[in-house]
Chain A
């Protein structure tokens, strides 16, 4: 058994024994499932209103039947995906921090390094363990969400829907591992553990909360409760025609948004799940091709963060005493 496998096994055992982190993952799963249930109940309420309206129309002798509210079950996952991008990233930072912090000052690391080691066996094992943990969590969370969709949302999913969910799960894994690797690298590189954690938290605040929020509030439609265009009773086609006049502003807004990796994750996942109307019910291959630039950016970010963690989590940084 080589040292990479031994280290990997130790990292997995450490996390399994960390009750607080297990609790955090339970919390994340819970709020994501609650979000699916809330969306399903919201849809049921709208459907009940529609049925009531239809009954009233029939009673009044009208023959005109308004279209039923469309139900695309995968759209019910929107809130859960948003929780993953906001809080999942935060928990990923905590995992990355723990990967380094738990061994500092324990005396284990100096002892381990008295034995012959390949340069990247420890950092590689920590990264592999992080990837394995997020892989397991993503599978569990997405399976529970699909069960909630079928059970509470009474959804019927096609085989292609399962492919869409699986692809979204893979992107979630990329996104979460990115944040853990980034935090791991930052914590390993800084002289004090708390400085690395601070840096990661500040980056999280700016990238996950502030930049998408700026893009969101700059959207003209978000300036009035319920939507500007809805309040002016303007349909979707006219809305698109009007906003076409403000392409400069929209481009600036878009540039702000795409400076955040969170938006690349969100855009791809929302497209695969059909949450974004433009890509709803479109063939998965076409959607994937259309979102290729976002995929490339997300993958590049993931690889850069992994390389950063791999290169910074070395003997010199791990054995450095806290100042």
Chain B
């Protein structure tokens, strides 16, 4: 237990000092701060567009945005978690492994009677703690900005929903931390180690959803999950590959938590997919052979 805590503490310390994740963290937090303003501006315009449409007598449909939750202002946060958050998590994971391999730290530690699983779990938990800190700052930023925009302090239910959103976001990002760590442990060069999780991320976020929905890659950068396309091929692909589209599942789960449309029954599948994704990635990491963890990186 003592070793585990030492590894966790060391990992938090080095994660905070590492320049690459820190740079991405600054971009991430900056965009989280900006997302509420973007959400508010867009919401104001959309409401004005609807009022204009109504005034011109072009529709009799109800305003799709009347009575929407104030949490809607953070809808852009969802996409920043998928874009910047997932990259930040992957890169943090890669660096966590590469640091040890470059300095031969892992080799030295594992020359002592320390279990490989315990060591890797400690590193993963250390990264997870650091990431939880980043997400906590994001949650507080969202809570403050929504309170400022609406002119009243966000109620405890809204606050709890923000925390739940970041809770599932943390699980989602931990999957990418694990992927990054695996890549960092198994790659022969730094560039390859960084690129492989980014490629996996691109496949999960763009290619897999496109095969099931026929949505274009750029439209998948929208926080609203793409609806499944009709037609035998797409339905078949959606059935087979749908569970792998973790980015789309994160959008669906977030939509339920942030009161922007999805029901609990649809979102429950997405929650399960995200948790399974994180568990599988962590299991792959923890199953890394001792010799691989001890291997040094010489470029």
Contacts and interface: CB of A to CB of B under 8 A. Distances in A.
Partners in one complex: yes
A222 B43 CA distance: 11
Interface in A217-245: 217-218, 220, 222-226, 228, 231-234, 238, 241-243, 245
A226 B23 CA distance: 36
Contacts of A225: 224-227, 261
A225 B224 CA distance: 6
B6 interface: no
B202 A216 contact: no
A1 B158 CA distance: 72
A220 B217 CA distance: 19
Tier of interface size on chain A = 35 or more
Given A41-B231, A210-B84, A234 B224 contact: no
A237 B19 CA distance: 51
B64 A224 contact: yes
Contacts of A226: 227
A300 to B, nearest CB: 24
Given A41-B231, A202-B24, A90 B46 contact: no
Contacts of A98: 191
B229 A220 contact: no
B23 A198 contact: yes
A234 B59 contact: yes
Contact of B221 (A31, A209, A245): A209
A109 interface: no
A86 B59 contact: no
Interface string B35-50: 0001001100110111
Interface in A11-60: 20, 24, 27, 31, 34-35, 38-39, 41-42, 44-45, 48-49
Contacts of A222: 222, 224
A222 B45 CA distance: 12
Interface in B244-296: 261
B206 A218 contact: no
A216 B221 contact: yes
Contact of B230 (A49, A79, A90, A243): A49
Contact of A238 (B56, B207, B211, B226): B56
Contact of B42 (A197, A212, A217): A217
A154 interface: no
A78 B234 contact: no
A307 B218 CA distance: 30
A139 interface: no
A242 B49 contact: yes
Given A78-B216, A90-B198, A210-B83, A228 B221 contact: no
A217 B79 contact: yes
A170 to B, nearest CB: 21
Interface in B70-117: 75-76, 79, 83-84, 87
B214 A38 contact: yes
A31 B261 CA distance: 31
Q: Which residue, B19, B192, B207, B226, has most C-beta atoms of chain A within 10 A?
A: B207
B234 A220 contact: no
Given A195-B19, A205-B27, A238-B58, 4 more contacts: A45-B232, A94-B195, A205-B87, A246-B52
Interface of B: 19-20, 23-24, 27, 31, 38, 41-42, 45-46, 48-50, 52-53, 56, 58-59, 61, 64-65, 75-76, 79, 83-84, 87, 190-192, 194-195, 198-199, 202, 206-207, 210-211, 214, 216-219, 221-227, 229-234, 261, 299
